Structure 1
Amino acid sequence: MKATKYALPLLCLVGLLWGSMQRAEAQRTQIRGFVDAYSSYQKGKLNFGLGEQDLFITSEITERLSFLGETVFKYSFDSPTDFDISIERVILKYNYAGNHSVLLGKHHTPLNYWNDTYHHGRVFFPTVERPLVFSEGFIPLHTTGVSLQGQNLGRLRFGYDLMLGNGLGSGDIADNNPFKSVTAAVHIKPKDGVRFGASLYHDVISKGSLVHNHSTGASTLARARIRQSIMTASVAYSDSVFSKKYELLAESSMAMNKADSLGTQNAVATYAYAGLRLTDKIIPYVRFDDIRYHKQEVYFHDHRVQSFVGGVRYELSYLAVFKLEYQHTNHHRMTDADRVVFQVAVGF
């Protein structure tokens, strides 16, 4: 009698679990995680720290409709718990014809190769951190809006992104002015591992807007209404990820900031990366960064900066990577900085 009493609820529970598993399988939902930790040595001081923990979810809801979500847990000096939760991407993608899709949500702005290719999992970064163009707040990292996208079209595998979204200084739920940001990006991949890209971003930043830098937590205040246009060109070469011999990536961005009373000022940010695969697991690499502002810059802080990083990457597997890196940074208004970093990055 006792066995009969518990048999029906147990069978119902098993049935519910089985149904959930079948639905998850039908949707092909994947939940992945990425995390990194590091040790650094600078000015005679040894430090240990945690990087970002990245929760990455993808799901094929139907044959044409899919979802991508990315949430990052990271250190924040002004958080009571020392860590903040940041919603980096929430995207619904509808494939309406062939390789053409419409996307709605919070995106990585497809303005340059790095921002369009890498998510927050450091295990996939060729270096310990992103180039300076990110940490200096030179480009808009995220845009909340709608975009049209095409991939692998024709013999040259042409691709495009056309995006309309909230501008700089806006939040994820509303724009802070009547103007919308516009992004147009195109690329071709004429051979395996070769990609050439170009893009244009335009926005009107209202006076008094506070633009938050997601990389550093710092903010930039627009002292006047700014019409901003950013042009970017990139070239990337890698026969395939985690194989072959050579890795090359170079990008350059020019930002044109126009204020009604102060005219137009240009700023240029460039970086170049090169890696050489000595064995299946060992890749020494270098990267140079250079950011230059006009003396009368009307929007960016005049933090002219150059940096050199050199290191070696050891790929235990494609989801477990060690990096040992030397970093030298030369700031226009600060003393030079030298730092050695050892990073462990994994995916699971």
Structure 2
Amino acid sequence: MRQRYYPSLFQTLSGIGVYFFCGLMAAMPATAVASGHAGHMSGDDASGLPGDFLLFPAVTGIVRFDQEPQKKLSNSDVIPELNMFYTMDYQRFRFLGEWLVSTKTHNLERFQLGLHAGDEATVWLGRFHNPIGYWNMQFHHGGFLQTTITRPGIMAFETAGGVIPNHLTGFLWEGLHELGEGGLYYTVGAGAGPQINKGLEAFNLVEPGGSHRPGVSFRLGYQPISYGIDEFGVSGAYNQIHSDELAVKNVNQFVASAYANRQIDSVRLLSEVVYLNNTLESPLGGKTHDDFLSAYGQVEWQLNPTWTLVGRVEGTFGARNDPYLAMFPKYVEDRFLGGVRFKLNHSNALKVEASRDHLRNDHFGQVMFQWSAVFP
């Protein structure tokens, strides 16, 4: 897959996507957001349109304290956002689109045209979530979908200081194969990855440009007990990343991870270990090799249908003086987190989260508040 093919192909896709979303918003009646949440992702939504159209609004407040003198972040912030999600099936064809707008970013996060390739498999073309690990495929951009406000540092999105590609633009193949009393879930992706320009910058369908090299990735997970919430799996990726930094021209990156998600009565345990190996090439041709390990463990205790307590511990090992991480000052290397989620009803939730974060050159405490919802 050569770089010169990307702009012409995906400029076409982005044009279709923009017209599709504009037409969708214009045609949607005002009553569409007034009905209850359908609770599934197929069929016709309340507006009478084929498929499902969902809105995920959220407002997040952040208070930081005890920062280092050379602090890079503000002491407080308020971030409103709106995530628009649409999916539709028509005979053997599928479509999925997701647009995020906030005071920090605005992106066509996902734009996927799919074709059913059998009873349990789909082949997609477009921009999609990179199938690395459990978190990145299970939780998306809608704040209501996850128990915590923050994502683990190693799984942060590109625009939030992430160090591994969370989006690819190209081809995705995913499916589920029955295996005994459970199922084997597989995903393989290949396409244009990000470039480094003051952090990772994913390929933008609406404004294509830059130098985006290819990346490939896979995820293999086992879901036992008749496709329950439990899942155990592995994933891996290889990325070629062009850099606009003066000291680094290119990065060749290998990623490997193993994860486990386990539900025991009212307690959910989620853990993941991610290994990164990077080769940095300087403009003069010299090469520097580095690697590090990141891990997190999260515990969720659902006291009742309304209240859920959550705690998470994150750590990065071998990151001291790492030349790759030096390009990502917002990356959270270590974090201790505790929080609570209060579900107001089936479509609204309040969250409070307190944490102690360690960045490369900063340590600080942080308290976050969030209202999130899903409509209709």
Aligned partner of 1:34: which letter?
F
Quick check: 2:167–2:193 contact (8 Å CA) kept in 1? Answer: no
Q: Supply the distance in 2 between the matched residues of 1:125 and 1:52 (Cα, whole angstroms).
A: 15
Aligned partner of 2:252: which letter?
R
Tell me the residue number matched to 2:179: 154
Tell me the residue number matched to 1:74: 102
Higher relative contact order (CA 8 A, sep 6+): 2
Q: Report the 3-state secondary structure (helix = DSSP H, G, I; strand = E; otherwise coil) of the residue aligned with 2:137.
A: helix
Q: Report the 3-state secondary structure (helix = DSSP H, G, I; strand = E; otherwise coil) of the residue aligned with 2:354.
A: strand
1:141 is displaced (CA, Å) by: 1.0
Quick check: 1:188–1:196 contact (8 Å CA) kept in 2? Answer: yes
**Aligned pair 1:116/2:137, yes or no?**
yes
1:72 is displaced (CA, Å) by: 0.4
The structure number with the bigger radius of gyration is 1
1:102 is displaced (CA, Å) by: 0.6
Quick check: 1:166–1:175 contact (8 Å CA) kept in 2? Answer: no
Number of residue equivalences: 306
Q: Supply the distance in 2 between the matched residues of 1:322 and 1:52 (Cα, whole angstroms).
A: 15
Query: Structure 1, residues 278-304: CA drift from partner, whole Å, max 9, x if none?
Result: 122111110111124444534232757
1:311 is displaced (CA, Å) by: 1.1
**Aligned pair 1:193/2:225, yes or no?**
no
Q: For 1:225, which of 239, 247, 250 is the aligned residue?
A: 250
Quick check: 1:92–1:104 contact (8 Å CA) kept in 2? Answer: yes
- Structure 2 runs not aligned, ≥5 long: 1-26, 29-43, 67-73, 196-201
1:317 is displaced (CA, Å) by: 2.8
Q: Supply the distance in 2 between the matched residues of 1:96 and 1:221 (Cα, whole angstroms).
A: 45
Distance 1:149 1:179, change over 3 A: same
Aligned partner of 1:165: which letter?
G
Distance 1:48 1:258, change over 3 A: closer
Q: Report the 3-state secondary structure (helix = DSSP H, G, I; strand = E; otherwise coil) of the residue aligned with 2:141.
A: coil
1:341 is displaced (CA, Å) by: 1.9
1:263 is displaced (CA, Å) by: 4.0
Aligned partner of 1:347: which letter?
V
1:303-322 equivalent positions in 2, closer than 5 A: 305-322=333-350
Q: Let me know the Cα RMSD of the aligned residues.
A: 3.0
Quick check: 1:250–1:272 contact (8 Å CA) kept in 2? Answer: yes
Q: Supply the distance in 2 between the matched residues of 1:237 and 1:195 (Cα, whole angstroms).
A: 7
Query: Structure 1, residues 104-140: CA drift from partner, whole Å, max 9, x if none?
Result: 1000101011110112111111101211111442221
Distance 1:323 1:178, change over 3 A: closer
Aligned partner of 2:301: which letter?
L
Q: Supply the distance in 1 between the matched residues of 2:164 and 2:247 (Cα, whole angstroms).
A: 15
Query: Structure 1, residues 232-287: CA drift from partner, whole Å, max 9, x if none?
Result: 11111237xxxx50111111111101235334210222111101111221111101
**Aligned pair 1:262/2:298, yes or no?**
no
Q: Supply the distance in 1 between the matched residues of 2:76 and 2:212 (Cα, whole angstroms).
A: 46
Q: Supply the distance in 1 between the matched residues of 2:122 and 2:174 (Cα, whole angstroms).
A: 5
Q: Report the 3-state secondary structure (helix = DSSP H, G, I; strand = E; otherwise coil) of the residue aligned with 1:301.
A: helix
Tell me the residue number matched to 2:357: 329
1:23-102 equivalent positions in 2, closer than 5 A: 28-43=50-65, 49-60=78-89, 62-76=90-104, 84-102=105-123
Tell me the residue number matched to 1:163: 189
Quick check: 1:321–1:344 contact (8 Å CA) kept in 2? Answer: yes
Quick check: 1:222–1:299 contact (8 Å CA) kept in 2? Answer: no
**Aligned pair 1:182/2:207, yes or no?**
no
Identity of aligned pairs, percent?
A: 22
Q: Supply the distance in 2 between the matched residues of 1:223 and 1:46 (Cα, whole angstroms).
A: 32
Aligned partner of 1:30: which letter?
D
Q: Supply the distance in 1 between the matched residues of 2:212 and 2:85 (Cα, whole angstroms).
A: 33
Q: Report the 3-state secondary structure (helix = DSSP H, G, I; strand = E; otherwise coil) of the residue aligned with 1:98.
A: coil
Q: Supply the distance in 1 between the matched residues of 2:336 and 2:212 (Cα, whole angstroms).
A: 41
